[in-house]
Amino acid sequence: MSKFELKLPRMGESVAEATLTTWLKEVGDTIEMDDPVFEIATDKVDSEVPSEVEGILKEKLFDIDDIIKVGETVAIIEIEGGVNGAETVNKSTEVSKETVAAVAETISIAKEASSSPLQDYSDTERFYSPLVKNIAKEEGISIAILDTIEGTGKGGRVTKNDILAFIKNGKVSGSVVTPETKRTVVEPVSIVDENKAVDTPIVANANKPTNDQVSTMSPSGSDEVIEMSRMGKLIAKHMVDSVSTSAHVQSFIEVDVTNVVNWRMKMKDTFEKMEGEKLTFTPIFMEAVAKALKKYPMMNISVDGDKVIKKKNINIGMAAALPDGNLIVPVIKNADRLNLVGMAKVVNDLARRSRENGLKPDEIQEGTYTVTNVGTFGSVFGTPIINQPQVGILALGAIRKMPAVIETPEGDFIGIRSKMYISHSYDHRVVNGALGSMFAKAVADYLEAWDINREL
């Protein structure tokens, strides 16, 4: 018998760690190759981690809600015979030492800081682990402040990493901010970047309520209180962070897509017979956006502090609604290199696996621009929020038949045309009105000039 280390796999360049959310196997269970053993979650997606070997689960090295770094051993599987790369290890002691060292360091830092009298942490309805309570006591964090910390654990529980992050970011002049502290504090706003996390401090008055404070609203007896899902909380935070980070400006353009509608109607059956895929409007719009990004590369950028990063690849995020009401943005990598058939296949595949919760972590990373189709739900246009650290997002409105003036050499006529609005939100810190409008106009021009005789 030998033992195999099941490690947390690499999940994209910008993903360094993940949270263990569920164990799908118990110690002693027989595991087949490719059987999912546990589930992990990043700030973008939940994913199952399969076994690379057949065997019996002998040991779990992490608990639910633990933070695991990429490459760390999560479980030990006993296998028959020798396998290349298999190692006999016991990491539990090492993990324990690392945990003890981290806590010891935290306590040591706390002793150097001025602290408040110990609090009675039993006087709260919120659950806190003994470790979190001990760290809070050593740091002099009152129960009122502790209750305001946003938890990332299961059910919103505050984890060790949550309180350590609060301590690191919430100290001013070596002491923890309390409700009685009358001064200005610096609160970090985390800007989510597929490539890099940037902490931008925002100065706020301690006397004023902040977004992190607990709501005092009390629901009546007939109201239903619904806990936000983990993904819902993350999406909410990202949206608020984006609005507070970027100076959002919108441009709106009406587009005549009659040629596009007629061409798709003519080609959709042929396309499905040839490729086994449905031809929707989405790949056509994505092709138009990719060409516009190629024409205006300064829309294909990101912001890192006071620096602008011009992206080499055109990776278009495609916002997709999930059955549970949440939103996910799979990314079409190198969209400008795909022909229409390739674009349709990628779009359909990503959309299907989004609904089935089957996306891989690296398939929602490294987007450089985002498109959202609000017309799916009947909206004529919208004002979408930028997906940080990108600088633009395009909303596609519903296609409607409308009376319109048609200009011909023989004169102007009134006719029925298929039209839609596209709404372009962009970051006015780095994109001026001219560029933002010209980009949207380029998308519109490409769609209006669609060749009705185009071949697949």
What is the C-alpha end-to-end distance of the chain, expressed in Å? 57
Smallest CA-to-CA distance from 15 within 50, 40, 51, 48 is with 40
Nearest-5° angle of CA 43, CA 133, CA 94? Answer: 65
Q: What is the pLDDT of residue 154?
A: 55
Helix (H) or strand (E) holding 331: strand 331-332
The residues facing 3 across adjacent strands are 78
Smallest CA-to-CA distance from 317 within 372, 274, 249 is with 372
Nearest-5° angle of CA 44, CA 237, CA 212? Answer: 140
Q: Enumerate the H helices of 89-229 as residue ranges.
A: 92-112, 130-139, 143-146, 160-170
Q: pTM of this prediction?
A: 0.60
DSSP letters, 262-307, are HHHHHHHHHHHHHHSS---SHHHHHHHHHHHHHH-GGGSEEEETTE
Tokens encoding 74: 């999560």
Tokens encoding 419: 């039209």
Beta-strand pair 369-372/392-396 = parallel
- Cα–Cα distance for residue pair 443/441, rounded to 1 Å: 5
Q: What is the pLDDT of residue 215?
A: 53
Helix (H) or strand (E) holding 191: strand 184-191
- Cα–Cα distance for residue pair 420/75, rounded to 1 Å: 53
61 close to 94: Cβ distance less than 8 angstroms: no
Contacts of 146 (CB under 8 A, 6+ apart): 119, 121, 124, 128, 136, 158, 163
DSSP assignment, residue 194? Answer: S
Q: What is the pLDDT of residue 233?
A: 85
pLDDT tens for the chain, 456 residues: list them: 788 999 988 766 556 788 888 899 999 999 988 788 998 887 666 778 888 889 999 999 999 988 899 889 999 999 886 544 444 444 444 444 555 555 555 555 544 443 444 455 555 656 666 567 778 887 888 877 887 888 886 557 787 778 888 888 864 333 444 444 434 344 444 444 444 444 444 444 444 444 444 455 666 778 888 888 877 888 889 899 999 999 999 999 999 999 999 999 999 999 999 999 999 999 999 999 999 999 999 999 999 989 999 999 999 999 988 877 788 999 999 999 999 999 999 999 999 999 888 888 889 989 999 999 999 989 999 999 999 999 999 999 999 999 999 999 999 999 999 999 999 999 999 999 999 999 999 999 999 999 999 998
- Cα–Cα distance for residue pair 360/322, rounded to 1 Å: 15
- Cα–Cα distance for residue pair 369/79, rounded to 1 Å: 46
